[in-house]
Structures are given as C-alpha cells and as structure tokens.
C-alpha cells in the first residue's frame, strides 16, 4: 500500500517522524515503516493519520490491486 505520509509531514512544516508518531500514538520506527510501505497501518491508525493532516484516508493511503488480498481473490476464482 503506497501512501503520502512523508509528503504530508514535510508540507506540515517539516514534521518529524517522531512528532507524527507522538501525535497519533505510534513509535518513530512504525511511522518510518508505514512511509516505506513495509507496514500497513490498522484502519484506526490510518484514520488518525489522515485526520491529523485534514485529509480523507483515501487521500493519504492508496491500496493497489495485486497485493496479497488480490492474489487470494484470484486464486479462489481459479478453482
């Protein structure tokens, strides 16, 4: 899942990962993992991050077909 978290941090007066983490209840390391696409946040966390920046969730996080969920659906159709 791609996202705009890093861009939004910089547009918010160069907010640090640590500051964002503190404001949404996560560690700096978790924010870094979200930005790098190594960790998909829970729906609750996604909403908290989006709300902090005054955005809708779909403006911050972008789901792309073909990930693990897409492969499961494709495999179940083949049977």
The two beta strands, 61-62 and 2-3, are antiparallel
- Running DSSP on this structure, what letter comes out for residue 42? P
Neighbours of 5 (CB within 10 A): 22
Give the residue carrying structure tokens 């779909």: 58
Q: Which domains does the chain have, with CATH numbers?
A: 2-78 (1.10.260.40)
Over residues 33-51, the mean pLDDT reads 97
- pTM score: 0.80
Rounded CA Rg of the chain: 14
Least confident segment among 1-5, 11-15, 52-56, 62-66: 62-66
Whole-number pLDDT of residue 63: 87
Q: Mind listing the pLDDT tens digit for each residue in 57-79?
A: 999 999 888 865 444 444 444 44
Q: Mind listing the pLDDT tens digit for each residue in 11-36?
A: 999 999 999 999 999 999 999 999 99
């Amino acid at each position: 899942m791609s996202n705009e978290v890093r861009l939004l941090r910089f547009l918010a007066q160069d907010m640090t990962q640590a500051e964002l983490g503190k404001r949404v209840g996560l560690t700096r390391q978790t924010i870094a993992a979200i930005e790098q696409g190594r960790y998909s946040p829970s729906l609750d966390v996604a909403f908290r991050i989006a709300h902090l920046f005054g955005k809708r969730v779909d403006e911050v996080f972008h789901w792309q077909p073909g990930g693990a969920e897409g492969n499961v659906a494709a495999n179940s159709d083949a049977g």
